Structure 1
Amino acid sequence: MCGPFIRNHQYNEIKKQAGNLQHALRTIADRKVLESVRLGAAAKIEELFPDASSHQKQLLEHIVTLETSEDFHKYLRTLEPYILEFPPVTEKQIQKLFPKNKKLKIPNLSELDRRYITYLSWVDISTNKLFMVYPLNGQFVGVEGRYTPTNKRSFCFICHRYEDLALFSAISKKRPAKASADYYKSVGNYLCMHGHECNKNITDISSLESFINTVIG
């Protein structure tokens, strides 16, 4: 047996590949094409775990045997115990990430299902600010910025899904060597209005981590 090893964004990608295969089984009659879709889905899942153990590979490879809707549901349920939870974080730790916000409103952490969180975020409506907490290189980092709903749908820069968007603008901590005292640079991007939806959709963390690195310097 092995312990949890699947991160939320990886589980989302597995669900995506399972959905693609399930759709192919319903719509494609050519067995050779179906076999190609099966192998493609298995290969994309394998790429997510380059250091997987033999037992982990065995768990994941079952996707090539699935046929019915119940098979797919069972496959995904079988993987749920192996999902890595978002690292435990306390209110004190979060407050230290945002020291200038003395009246920081933190969500009820006990209500969160940490298995399905890639990044923790919440909006303070009173200040129109979005706060984001993410475990980067083994340490929690915090990013805050202005949160402006756009009343439009397009592609989120984090999860790349077509959703209702808000503009998130944060002040970068990076400063040129000879910058004046009043220098600042705002970094903005469009992201899902609702963080829980984004966490359900995200399949790749590279855009998220690139944005965070740009902000924190």
Structure 2
Amino acid sequence: MTSHNEIQPFIRCDQFNFIKFQVKHLVHAHSTVKDPAVLNAIKYGALDKIMNLFPEMSEDHQVFHKITEIEQDIQGKSFLDALKSYVIPFKPITEKTVGKLFPKAGKLKLQFLKNVDFKELSYLGWYDIRSDKKFLIFDYKGKLMGIHGTFRHKTKGICSLCNHHGEVGLFMANVKSGKETFTNRGNYICDDSHECNQNLQRLDKLEYFIENLKN
């Protein structure tokens, strides 16, 4: 069997968020449920849900099994800290990368990139005050793709990327719809892209959003 030291990163950010949710649910169950049989069902149910994310992984793999021992926040944090070493980081983004993705955008303020944890990204998003636009970078089928657009009508609602309720705004991009024609397309997405990334537990809605906006 492969030792833990030889395991390459294999967990996507959205999958890691799903695991975090299972840990949170498990800790909450231990503080509210007294029936050992029910607790057993919850903890092994959590393990099954996680293992189902990785169908190619053999059942004897020990990376996730410690979740069944978690009862308190401190144990959950320790488990997640250890697991984070297996998270696949988002492709490196530098000022040069951004310049290539948005050649007509001019000089963008990108100091925030120094503080970005790329293991916590399913996509990169930020609002640029000077140009009054929101910029999004996706890893689409193994290749970086950049889209920018207006961001208006802030309200409370459901984000079309992470499917969580919170502060959202209408992102609209001018995309090519024919040989020489363009159309505005978009949807409501989280105002805070960092929070959105934290809430993303699957990629289907994100991929649908990209498909709708790509040329």
TM-score in terms of structure 1 length = 0.87
> 1:80 is matched by which residue type in structure 2?
K
Displacement after TM superposition at 1:214 (Å): 1.4
> 1:187 is matched by which residue type in structure 2?
R
1:94 maps to 2:98: yes
Task: Give the whole-Å Cα distance in 2 for the aligned partners of 1:4 and 1:12.
Answer: 15
1:156 maps to 2:143: no
> 2:91 is matched by which residue type in structure 1?
P
Aligned residue number for residue 17 of structure 2: 12
Displacement after TM superposition at 1:172 (Å): 3.0
Aligned runs of 1:147-186 on 2, under 5 Å? 147-150=151-154, 152-175=155-178, 181=180, 183-186=181-184
Aligned residue number for residue 208 of structure 1: 206
1:116 maps to 2:120: yes
Length, aligned pairs only: 210
Runs of 4+ in 1 over 3 A off after TM superposition: 103-108
Supply the RMSD in Å over aligned alpha carbons: 2.0
Task: Give the whole-Å Cα distance in 1 for the aligned partners of 2:35 and 2:78.
Answer: 25
Task: Give the whole-Å Cα distance in 1 for the aligned partners of 2:106 and 2:73.
Answer: 50
Task: Give the whole-Å Cα distance in 2 for the aligned partners of 1:155 and 1:63.
Answer: 30
Aligned residue number for residue 31 of structure 1: 36
Q: Larger deviation: 166-175 or 154-163?
A: 166-175
> 2:206 is matched by which residue type in structure 1?
L
Displacement after TM superposition at 1:165 (Å): 1.0
Task: Give the whole-Å Cα distance in 1 for the aligned partners of 2:80 and 2:150.
Answer: 37
Task: Give the whole-Å Cα distance in 1 for the aligned partners of 2:44 and 2:62.
Answer: 14
- Structure 1: gaps of 5 or more residues: none
> 1:17 is matched by which residue type in structure 2?
Q
Displacement after TM superposition at 1:130 (Å): 0.7
Q: 1:10-29 CA distances to partner (integer Å, 9 max, x unpaired)?
A: 11110001111111111122
Displacement after TM superposition at 1:149 (Å): 4.5
Aligned residue number for residue 53 of structure 2: 48
